[in-house]
Chains A and B, each alone.
Chain A
C-alpha cells in the first residue's frame, strides 16, 4: 500500500469517531443537551383566548427544564402565533421543521390549522402529540407519528346525552351546532347515544360560524319544546344563544362541549346566564387539590404569573404530559422512531387529564371525560367521576361518511 493511501486510512479512522461524536448524523432537533419542540397557536385574533394552551405548554416545559430536563437534555421551545389562520400555520410549520429543525410538534389549537399541516408533518416524520381539538381526524385512521390526547367530541356528546337521559330524566333533547366538522361530530355522537336509548333528537339546528343574530335559530329550538339542548358552538355564539333564549323565556337545561369549559370567562360574557350549564371536561377543575394540580399551579406562579390560571392555560400541560412521558421512556437514544415506540408503550398513564393508552395501531390516547357544571360566579363544579365512552366509533364514522 502506498504512503498516500495509508495516510488517508489513518485520517479516516481518526476523523470518523469525531464526526459521529459531533452529532453530524444526529436526529433532527436533538443534540447532546437539547430537544427542540415547536407549537403554533393563536396569540392574536378572534381565537386568542384558546392561545393560552400554547403558553401553558411553554410553562410546563419551563418546569420540566427547571427539574433538570429529560435525560440530561433541556427542552428548547418555539411558540409561534398563527392567528388561527391556516396559511400562517403552514408557513410556521415549514419554518420550524426546516429552519429551526424541531424534533417534534406539541399540541396546536384548531382543527382547520392542524389539518393544513397534518400531511406535511407526517411526510417529514415529525412526531406530533396532542392537537388541541377533539376531532377524529387525528387518529382515525391512525398515522405513525401523530398521537391524539384530547377526547373526541363524539364521545363528549354521547356522555352528555346519557347523563341527561339516565341521571336527569330528560326526555326531549335538541342539538344546536356549528355547521362544520366540530359541530357535525358532536351531533353524530348525540344521535348515536340517543339511538341506543331508543330516542331521537326533537330538533337539530345548525349555525354558520359568522352568524351573530341567532333569533330564528332560537325560535326553531323553542318550537320543538326540548327540556335539554346541547350546544356545539364557539364561545361567542354560546353567549349569544343563551342571551337570546333568556329574552324569549326559553329555559331548557343547556349542555355543551369542553371547548366552552372555561367557566369564569363564559359566566362573564353571558352575564351570569352560564350558571348551571353542564359541560364535558378533559381535565381537573382550576381549583382542584390533585397533587399535580398544586405542582402545576406553583409552576404557573413561578414561570407565567401574568397569565390567567384557567382551563385553557393548563390544557397546555395536559396535551403534552404524554409527550414528556414518551421522551422519558425513550431514554438517551432519542430518534423519531424510538419515540414512537416509547409512546406506543404508554398504557393507562394519567396526569391531570384522562387516562392515556396508545398502541401499535392506536393513536387516540383518551376516550374518557368527566362532567361538570358552572356554579355561582363561574365556579367549576364537578358532577361525575371519569366516564369512559362506549361509542362504537366505526359505526359513527361510517355515518359521517368516513
Chain B
C-alpha cells in the first residue's frame, strides 16, 4: 500500500514537472526578440515594445509599454501621441508618454500608470472606504485596433512614427479583472 502511494505521488510529481517544463518552453517560445532600430533609416525613427497590448485592466497596468526613438537632436525632449483615437465620439490625438533626448539623439518614453488608467482604459483612479487606491471603470477602453504613435520633438520639426495595436482582453485577462473586482481593487460601474 505504501509502495503504491509512493509510486502514485512520484507520478504526480513527475507530471507536475513535465507540465511546468512545457509551460516554460511554451512561454519562452512565445517570447519575441527585442526590437531593434532599422539601420537603413537615416532620420528619426521609433519602436515600441510590446507592439500589441491587451486592454484588460490588470494586464494593461502590469505591462510595461515603452517607446524608444533615435535620430532626434541631443538635449531636445519629445512626447508620444496616439493619433486619431475615438474618445467619447470625438477623434483626438492623445499624448501618452514623454522623454528626454540623450547626447546620442536617443530617447525612451514609458507610458505611466496614470496615463494608462485615464487615457487608455478611460477609467479613473479612486479610493475605497479604507482610502486604498482602486480603478473605477465606467466607460469602454480605447477601441481595439492598430494606431499610429507619433513622437513629436518639442524644439524641432522632427517626428517619428510606429504602430501599436490594442486588442480586447482574452480569457485569462478577463479572469484577472474578475479577481481584481472580487478583491475590490477594480470597480465596474
Q: State whether B131 touches A94 (Cβ < 8 A).
A: no
Q: State whether B131 touches A87 (Cβ < 8 A).
A: no
Chain B residues contacting A210 (CB-CB under 8 Å) are 113, 133
A46 to B113, CA, bound (A): 12
Q: How far is the CB of A216 from chain B (nearest CB, A)?
A: 15
**Stretch of B40-48, B49-57, B93-101 that contacts chain A:** B93-101
Chain A residues contacting B98 (CB-CB under 8 Å) are 86-87, 90, 116
Instruction: Tell me if B6 counts as interface (CB < 8 A to partner A).
Output: no
Chain A residues contacting B125 (CB-CB under 8 Å) are 45-46
Q: How far is the CB of A118 from chain B (nearest CB, A)?
A: 10
Instruction: Tell me if A127 counts as interface (CB < 8 A to partner B).
Output: no
Chain B residues contacting A236 (CB-CB under 8 Å) are 127, 131
Q: How far is the CB of B69 from chain A (nearest CB, A)?
A: 14
Majority-rule SS of B interface residues? strand
A45 to B127, CA, bound (A): 12
Instruction: Tell me if A135 counts as interface (CB < 8 A to partner B).
Output: no
Instruction: Tell me if A223 counts as interface (CB < 8 A to partner B).
Output: no
Q: State whether B77 touches A116 (Cβ < 8 A).
A: yes
Instruction: Tell me if B79 counts as interface (CB < 8 A to partner A).
Output: yes
A213's contact among B113, B124, B132, B152, by CB below 8 Å, is which? B132
Q: State whether A90 touches B118 (Cβ < 8 A).
A: no
Q: Which residue of B lies closest to A113 (CB)?
A: B98
8 Å CB contacts to A: which residues of B87-138?
93, 95-98, 109, 112-115, 118-119, 124-125, 127, 130-133
A116 to B115, CA, bound (A): 15
Q: State whether A87 touches B79 (Cβ < 8 A).
A: yes
Q: State whether B118 touches A94 (Cβ < 8 A).
A: no
Instruction: Tell me if A88 counts as interface (CB < 8 A to partner B).
Output: yes
Known contacts A45-B125, A88-B95, A243-B131; A83/B118 CB under 8 A: yes
Q: State whether A212 touches B97 (Cβ < 8 A).
A: no
A119 to B132, CA, bound (A): 36
Report the number of A-B residue pairs with Cβ-Cβ less than 8 Å: 62
Q: Which residue of A lies closest to B127 (CB)?
A: A236
Q: State whether A46 touches B152 (Cβ < 8 A).
A: no
A236 to B126, CA, bound (A): 10
Known contacts A90-B98, A120-B77, A120-B155; A85/B131 CB under 8 A: no
Instruction: Tell me if A91 counts as interface (CB < 8 A to partner B).
Output: yes
Chain B residues contacting A119 (CB-CB under 8 Å) are 77
Most chain B beta carbons < 10 A, residue from A85, A236, A239 = A85
Chain B residues contacting A44 (CB-CB under 8 Å) are 118
Q: How far is the CB of B35 from chain A (nearest CB, A)?
A: 21
Chain B residues contacting A84 (CB-CB under 8 Å) are 114
Number of interface residues of B (CB under 8 A): 26
Instruction: Tell me if B80 counts as interface (CB < 8 A to partner A).
Output: yes
A85's contact among B77, B114, B155, by CB below 8 Å, is which? B114
B131's contact among A45, A83, A123, A212, by CB below 8 Å, is which? A212
A97 to B130, CA, bound (A): 43
Instruction: Tell me if A240 counts as interface (CB < 8 A to partner B).
Output: yes
Q: State whether A240 touches B131 (Cβ < 8 A).
A: yes
Chain B residues contacting A239 (CB-CB under 8 Å) are 131
Q: State whether A85 touches B118 (Cβ < 8 A).
A: yes
Instruction: Tell me if B17 counts as interface (CB < 8 A to partner A).
Output: no
Known contacts A85-B95, A87-B80; A94/B127 CB under 8 A: no
Chain A residues contacting B113 (CB-CB under 8 Å) are 210
Q: State whether A45 touches B130 (Cβ < 8 A).
A: no
Annotate A75-112 by CB proximity to B: 1 below 8 A, 0 otherwise. Answer: 00000000111111011001000000000000000000
Q: State whether B95 touches A87 (Cβ < 8 A).
A: yes
Q: State whether B154 touches A90 (Cβ < 8 A).
A: yes
Annotate B50-84 by CB proximity to A: 1 below 8 A, 0 otherwise. Answer: 00000000000000000000000000010111000
Q: How far is the CB of A92 from chain B (nearest CB, A)?
A: 8
A87 to B96, CA, bound (A): 6
8 Å CB contacts to A: which residues of B145-163?
152, 154-155
Q: State whether A83 touches B114 (Cβ < 8 A).
A: yes
A362 to B77, CA, bound (A): 27
A116 to B77, CA, bound (A): 8
Chain B residues contacting A91 (CB-CB under 8 Å) are 79, 81, 93, 95, 152
B154's contact among A45, A83, A120, A240, by CB below 8 Å, is which? A120
Q: Which residue of B lies closest to A239 (CB)?
A: B131
Q: Which residue of B lies closest to A213 (CB)?
A: B132
Known contacts A88-B95, A212-B131; A45/B114 CB under 8 A: yes
Chain B residues contacting A86 (CB-CB under 8 Å) are 98, 112
Annotate A39-52 by CB proximity to B: 1 below 8 A, 0 otherwise. Answer: 00000111000000
Q: Which residue of B lies closest to A45 (CB)?
A: B118
Q: State whether B154 touches A212 (Cβ < 8 A).
A: no
The 10 A-B pairs of least Cβ separation, nearest first, read A87-B95, A212-B132, A90-B79, A87-B98, A91-B95, A87-B79, A120-B154, A240-B131, A88-B95, A46-B125
Residue contacts A-B, CB under 8 angstroms, 27 given: A45-B125, A46-B125, A83-B118, A85-B95, A85-B114, A85-B115, A85-B118, A85-B119, A86-B112, A87-B79, A88-B95, A90-B95, A90-B98, A90-B154, A91-B93, A94-B79, A94-B152, A116-B77, A116-B98, A117-B154, A120-B154, A120-B155, A210-B113, A210-B133, A212-B127, A212-B130, A236-B131
